[in-house]
Structure 1
Amino acid sequence: MSNQRLQLTEEQRALIGTVQNLARDKNWRTNSIKFLDGTFPAENLRELAKIGVLGMSVPEEYGGSSLPLFDTVLVIEEIAKHCYTTAMGVMSSVGTQTRVISKYAPESLKREILPKVCTGEVNLAIGMTEPHAGTDVPNYKTNTVIKENCAVVNGVKTLISKVDDAEWFVVFTRINGAPGRDGIGCVLVNRNTPGFEVTARYHTMGGEFLGEIQFNNVEVPLENVILREGAFKKLLSAFNTQRCLNPSVSLGMAEAAFEEAINYVRQRTIRGNPIADFQGIQWKLAEMYRDIEAGRALLYQAALSADPFPNPQQAAVAKMYVNEMAIRVSSEALQVHGGYGFTDDYPISRIYRGVRYGTLGGGAVEALKDLVGKKLVKDFDPVEGFHSMGTF
């Protein structure tokens, strides 16, 4: 996909080009097969750390580059074109968890953690989902009690990425049992703290593991309670970043599926003719290209709205569309491969597995449709209607 018409800056082009060259030189798309067993792409992340990718969300005073969200989306998109597992690994370094620490943690924790995020020495994870509640935040049960000299965390978080590789966990938790959304705050927990236990691991379609954590009277310093009750709106604003980064993975994988499809149909012949010459195949390619470009426009618009976090409705719409678009595109790309597409020897099989995660993580698509639909009904002006260029 050409980015020339997007009028990117020279710096943006250089960064994307550096990532692209690294991924191609190391043949990430083909080599990604080795991550299907859950192996963490540590070597790929070390290479990305060397060129500054892991520090994109970290302020300059802590060793990062503090790039705009749009730049981060561009980079994640490019990485995802070559390796889903690596893109997901990078997300943990540049996503909500890093931005929450950068924005809200005390200075001592910022200086302890953020420089090591940039170098890849420290991995971060986020704990939101609970066994009985995903997007149903008001019913989270994990609770942190503030005492005189410490805070004590109890509860369970599940479906956590990088559960075996992260050192620090940004945990959404109820504070002092306060009810509802207003009772939610945020605590930073080190995996070596007594009472922290990984109690389950789930191997996913995409290859990586998601895990479950039990917090049994986990004592943390008071400074680790980086947001107390009443901070849910701040947390949600930060989490909206994930609603741009998650679809950037989907967009990159849709592009990869499209590329694999074109390469295949140009080489595959029937009765001596490449199947790329068939109208039915060309229509599929045209529709795939159309859908990718529409998704790109929505996602880039949402990412450009960030100041520092993106507009919630624009991010939600972008995620809804791009997640579902990527599933359609990768499915069609697999279809044109015929039976070969169903084998692990072809990258399209791995792309199809990974892309399925998008609609589930970062806020389920169904929940986002509900959010957007309610706002449309609430904000609609029967006289003015909706203006062009969006009103969200």
Structure 2
Amino acid sequence: MKLELSPEQQQLVDTVRKVRQREIAPRALQSIGGEFPHDNIKALASVGVMGMAIPERFGGSDASILDTVLALEEIAKSCYITAEAVIGEIGVQSRIISTYAPEHLQAKYLPRIASGEGVLSICMTEPDAGTDVASFRTNSRIEGHEVVINGAKTLISRAQLADVLIVFTRVNGIAGAAGIGCVLVPGGTPGLQAKATYRTMGGDHLCDVTFDECRVPLDHLILQQDSMKTLINAFNAQRCLNSAMCLGMAEGALEESIRYLRDRKAFGQRIGDFQGLRWKAADMYIEIEAARGLLYRAAASADPFPDPLITAAAKTYCNEMAIRVTNTAVQIHGGYGFTDEFAVSRLYRGARFGSLGGGTTETLRNYVGRHLVDYVDLASGVGVH
């Protein structure tokens, strides 16, 4: 088994790294003001990143989940805000549209995403339900050739800017998981309101979104009731990208720490010459490489979406690893690490998001544990098959 990048994948990483170092890193400090990073998105679109989840006929490259992970990992080394904006365009949002929406809606929205001009927003969390999707109250009723949406979503990224919102909703009031579907709601639809209400510790803004008799054409209901399994399978790609962000932020924190260990002097020598700090760097590296192995394996399993078990394990580990590694980086930097001017402070705050979005680590641990106890065939064991 050869565990190394192909020449094409290495070229991808090198290309994204150049954009990150030239365009994204110099603007990283100003990005925590909460403004959408349009300039960074345009720069990434110019090298094809924004089209990675989009079919070639709509201006994309239809890249693999693993290639998308590699690009997002590199971006996240310098800027959580930009990485979060990118995942909102090349994650499950674009893949849901390209997989399930009718051709004319794909043609309307996907080329704008690939060019860096469009913005997507996925609406899942509700005031009284987050991970518990089957308890959503937002409802879409079918009236002739229209769908009428009523309800509320909260903690939604980019909703005030979006060309179209991908809304997880109950259909015709059918209760439980069987009633959940997905509808596309164009930005500016009468009855739709999106307000940037919450400022996050990562620096971005999240919205409250309400739907009051919003009417869209029937063909905007791209997945009807009893589509829960389909939606969750699609969401495993998003979990890999969330993990890629966490891996990238941890790598960025380690790189910043190595630089500081080499440059900072104390008691007449580099602080990197003290064994205690060298061990911190060693532990950071070990955790990063363990996370990389889990994540790349999960991403490589995609056909077309990643295996849910290894993806749940990868996301759980990457999320928690990033918190530990970025926290250690802040400690290595001492008082400077507590200031916004040093990247490790921003990376630490960004890493805290990972275990909250895309399925909490508690939920994913429960899934992994249930699978092991209820489904593992002990005749073949738990190794690679």
Question: TM-score, normalization: structure 1?
Answer: 0.96
Structure 1 residues 311, 12: CA separation in 2 closer, same or farther (over 3 Å shift)? same
Cα shift readout 1:31-86 (whole Å, capped 9, x = no counterpart)? 21101121111000011111111000001111110000000000000000121111
Q: How far apart, in 2, do the equivalents of 1:286 and 1:8 lie?
A: 23
Q: Is 1:204 paired with 2:180?
A: no
Deviation of the 1:200 alpha carbon: 4.9
2:243–2:315 Cα contact (<8 Å) kept: yes
1:377 corresponds in structure 2 to: 373
Kindly indicate whether the alpha-carbon contact (under 8 Å) linking 1:140 and 1:173 is maintained by their aligned counterparts in 2.
yes
Kindly indicate whether the alpha-carbon contact (under 8 Å) linking 1:174 and 1:185 is maintained by their aligned counterparts in 2.
Answer: yes
CA contact (8 A) 2:184 2:221 kept: yes
Match of 1:31 among 3, 27, 30: 27
Matched, 1:10 2:7: yes
Map of 2:92 onto structure 1: 96
User: What amino acid is aligned across from residue 21 of structure 2 in structure 1?
Assistant: R
Check 1:200–1:56 CA distance in 2 against 1; reply closer, same or farther (3 A cut).
closer
Deviation, 1:156, is 0.5
**Amino acid across the alignment from 2:331:** Q
Q: Which of 253, 260, 271 matches 2:256?
A: 260
Q: Partner amino acid for 2:267?
A: R
Residue 314 of structure 2 is matched in structure 1 by 318
Aligned residues: 384
CA distance in 2, matches of 1:355, 1:388: 30
How much does 1:132 deviate?
Answer: 0.5
Distance in 2 (CA, whole Å) between partners of 1:186 and 1:315 is: 23
Indicate yes or no: 2:342 matched with 1:346: yes
Give matches, 1:352-367, under 5 Å.
Answer: 352-367=348-363
Match for residue 229 of structure 2?
A: 233
Structure 1 unmatched runs, 5+: none
Aligned match of 1:113: 109
Task: Report if aligned partners of 2:236, 2:311 keep a CA contact under 8 Å in 1.
Answer: yes
Deviation at 1:356, TM superposition (A): 0.6
Q: Does 1:56 align with 2:52?
A: yes
Question: Within the alignment, does 1:145 sit opposite 2:141 as a pair?
Answer: yes
Q: Alignment partner for residue 79 of structure 2, among 80, 83, 86? A: 83
Contact 1:29/1:347 (<8 A) preserved: no
Q: Compare 9-18 and 58-67 and name the one that shifted more.
A: 9-18
Q: Is 1:292 equivalent to 2:288 in the alignment?
A: yes
For each residue in 1:295-324, what CA deviation from the matched residue of structure 2 results, as whole angstroms up to 9, or x when unmatched?
000000000000110001111100000000
Partner SS state of residue 198, structure 2: strand
For residues 387 and 343 of structure 1, the distance between their equivalents in structure 2, rounded to whole angstroms, comes to 45
Equivalent residue for 2:67? 71
Cα deviation 1:253-283 (Å, max 9, x = unaligned)? 0000001111111111112110101110111
Kept in 1: contact 2:376–2:382 (CA 8 A): no
- The counterpart of 1:220, out of the listed 208, 216, 239, is 216
1:271 matched to 2:272? no
For 2:303, the equivalent position in structure 1 comes to 307
For the residues of structure 2 that align with 1:196 and 1:281, how far apart are their CA atoms?
Answer: 53
How far did residue 107 of structure 1 move? Answer: 0.9
CA distance in structure 2 between the aligned counterparts of 1:276 and 1:178, rounded to whole angstroms: 61
Query: Secondary structure at the residue paired with 2:77?
Result: helix
Matched-pair contact (CA < 8 Å) for 2:160–2:196: no
Contact 2:160–2:195 at 8 Å: present in 1 too?
A: no
CA distance in 1 between partners of 2:27 and 2:260 (Å)? 18
Equivalent of 2:382 in 369, 381, 387: 387
Normalising by structure 2, we get a TM-score of 0.98
Q: Percent identity?
A: 50
Q: Secondary structure at the match of 1:151?
A: strand
Offset at 1:345? Answer: 1.5
Contact 1:313 1:372 in 2 (8 A): yes
Task: Give the C-alpha shift of residue 385 in structure 1.
Answer: 6.1
Matched, 1:155 2:151: yes
Structure 1 match to 2:165: 169
- Per-residue CA distance 1:102-148 (angstroms, 9 max, x = gap): 00001110111111111122111100010100010111000000111
In structure 1, what residue type is equivalent to 2:369? Answer: G
Q: Structure 2 CA distance, aligned partners of 1:372 and 1:211?
A: 31
